[in-house]
Amino acid sequence: MSIFPKIHHLLVKLGAILQTPVLLLIRAFWGYQFIQTGWGKLHHLDKVTNFFASLNIPLPRVSAIAAASTETIGGALLLLGLCSRFASAALVVVMCVALGTADHDAVVGIFSNPDKFLATDPFLFLYASVIIFCFGPGRFSVDALLFRKAE
């Protein structure tokens, strides 16, 4: 066997070993971040409502409560690894709305000025949510305990 297939096999094994702890770190860090931002919005609801109204978001107070609650509850679910795909899907929607409204110019200019898009606040939240949605919460999660396949 040539050296490249051996190295590739080793890297695949290493990646498999690191997958669960990396997913745990992503869930823990970004779950906590979502909780903080959502909780902050809930505690400054008038300010968030005014901001949503300035963006012409319909029903700004209801929308502010919905977004803040989704971030807070979804973040807690991510942190625990409970209903992770459901929570991450909801958070993806909220972050897409945030990008499309508050950071519309950055989205429109994604190819002409990608740095502006990558620097938006919702982008990394969206990115983390997509990772959890696509790859799941990992073995160190409540989901893994609840939905463990019978052997």
The pLDDT score that the predictor gives to residue 151 is 38
Give the largest Cα separation in the chain, rounded: 66
Measured distance CA(76)–CA(105) in Å, rounded: 31
The pLDDT score that the predictor gives to residue 1 is 62
Residue carrying structure tokens 């200019």:
109
The pLDDT score that the predictor gives to residue 88 is 98
Q: Which residues of 13-27 are buried (b: 16+ CB within 10 A; e: fewer)?
A: eeeeeeebeebbebb
Instruction: State the pTM of this model.
Output: 0.91
- Report residues of the chain scoring pLDDT below 50: 150-151
Q: What token pair was written down for 139?
A: 């073995």
Measured distance CA(26)–CA(44) in Å, rounded: 27
